[in-house]
């Protein structure tokens, strides 16, 4: 629509440059016919010139257009700032989303427990103020991000490794947030809030000496979830992006489906079933997935499970607890062999076996 409006404006300016010659009312009748003929020619040439401008402008506008927008990009504003003098105890960060204030903080951990009770507050959250219990452990990643609430406003809370000086987070609309770790009750942490329909492009951790690593998260807008799975060092690329449907069907009167998204975040599967519209389960991996099984959306007494098999697998046989077997064909997505199937709610009561083209067993899983 912006290109169309720009084209109309250029056409209007082109028409304004055409000044019709005044009618030769003082001329003789003999010269009048010749003048009318010349005017028709001049008008035809002018219209042809304007049409030429339009034809030449359209491809020019397309060439100047930028890349396709990142999912979750749009018109919104986000700010973040660390605690200042006089801030309440436990405050991690505060800021605004579309001009509305938010705060994220942590209560003092209970004695003998390695967790902190997180709180979110402020007009930006509206009635969705709440708490979460994040894991205190940092692990080996520069930052261990966890969601701290969902809804119209999303929040991320991250425990930070000792060598990280600051972290930048790029949002889908191009906004870059700079997060400086603060120590709250003995734990180095960062936090920020952003609109629920926004996406995160990446997070980059820096030390005093430069970039440490980058995380490209998986954004699941249907579930309002951002998953930081893999941190890539400079020069690393991770898994190439690929996605596709693994399986679908109907059971107990409800439709179910499972799809996979592979990328620099690792491997994520989205399963939908009845009221569970977009349950996500993710695995951190830099390359080929190992033989594995992931449980996701549940439909009461049944659940959707997703597995990864070796590239040589051509069929999967699932052995159910009641003695029945189900045969599933794996789907190749991004060089991975993936499959989806229904099982009982007790995942320990079934197992599956993968067979190659010769009929030999190439992999198996015991629930």
Distances (CA, A) of 300 to 251, 279, 295, 342: 11, 14, 13, 12
* Cα–Cα distance for residue pair 2/148, rounded to 1 Å: 37
Q: Quote the pLDDT of residue 37.
A: 42
**Interior CA angle at 340 toward 337 and 341, to 5°?**
140
Give the Cα separation of 333 and 355 in Å (integer): 18
Q: Distance between CA atoms of 100 and 96, rounded to whole angstroms?
A: 5
pLDDT value at residue 51: 29
What was the pLDDT predicted at 150? Answer: 57
Q: Supply the DSSP symbol for 183.
A: E
pLDDT tens across 286-336, in order? 777 778 877 666 666 678 888 899 999 999 998 887 788 889 999 999 888
The per-residue pLDDT for 166 is: 98
Q: Give pLDDT < 50 ranges for the chain.
A: 1, 22-71
Q: What pLDDT, on the 0 to 100 scale, is given for residue 354? A: 94
CA distance 219 to 222: 9
Q: For position 289, what pLDDT does the model report?
A: 79
What local confidence, expressed as pLDDT, does residue 113 receive?
61
């Amino acid at each position: 629509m912006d290109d169309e409006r720009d084209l109309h404006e250029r056409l209007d300016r082109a028409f304004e440059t055409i000044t019709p010659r005044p009618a030769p009312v003082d001329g003789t009748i003999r010269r009048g016919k010749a003048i009318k003929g010349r005017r028709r020619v001049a008008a035809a040439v002018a219209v042809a010139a304007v049409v030429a401008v339009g034809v030449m402008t359209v491809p020019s506008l397309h060439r100047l257009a930028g890349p396709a927008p990142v999912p979750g990009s749009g018109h919104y504003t986000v700010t973040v700032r660390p605690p200042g003098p006089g801030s309440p105890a436990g405050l991690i960060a505060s800021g605004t989303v579309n001009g509305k204030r938010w705060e994220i903080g942590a209560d003092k951990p209970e004695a003998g427990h390695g967790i902190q009770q997180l709180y979110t507050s402020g007009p930006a959250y509206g009635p969705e103020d709440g708490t979460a219990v994040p894991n205190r452990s940092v692990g080996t990643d520069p930052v261990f991000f966890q969601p701290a609430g969902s809804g119209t406003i999303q929040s991320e809370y991250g425990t930070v490794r000792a060598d990280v000086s600051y972290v930048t987070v790029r949002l889908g609309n191009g906004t870059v947030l700079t997060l400086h770790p603060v120590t709250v009750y003995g734990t180095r942490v960062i936090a920020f809030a952003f609109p629920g329909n926004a996406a995160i492009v990446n997070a980059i951790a820096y030390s005093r000496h430069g970039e440490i690593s980058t995380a490209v998260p998986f954004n699941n807008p249907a579930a309002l979830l951002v998953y930081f799975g893999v941190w890539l060092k400079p020069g690393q690329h991770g898994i190439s992006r690929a996605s596709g449907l693994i399986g679908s069907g109907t059971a107990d009167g409800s439709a179910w489906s499972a799809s996979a998204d592979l990328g620099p975040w690792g491997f994520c599967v989205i399963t939908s079933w009845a009221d569970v519209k977009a349950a996500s389960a993710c695995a951190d991996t830099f390359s080929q997935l190992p033989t594995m099984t992931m449980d996701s959306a549940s439909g009461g007494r049944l659940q959707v499970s997703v597995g990864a098999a070796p590239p040589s697998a051509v069929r999967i046989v699932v052995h159910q607890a009641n003695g029945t077997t189900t045969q599933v064909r794996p789907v190749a997505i991004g060089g991975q062999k993936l499959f989806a199937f229904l099982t009982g709610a007790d995942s320990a009561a079934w197992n599956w076996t993968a067979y190659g083209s010769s009929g030999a067993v190439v992999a198996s899983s015991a629930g």
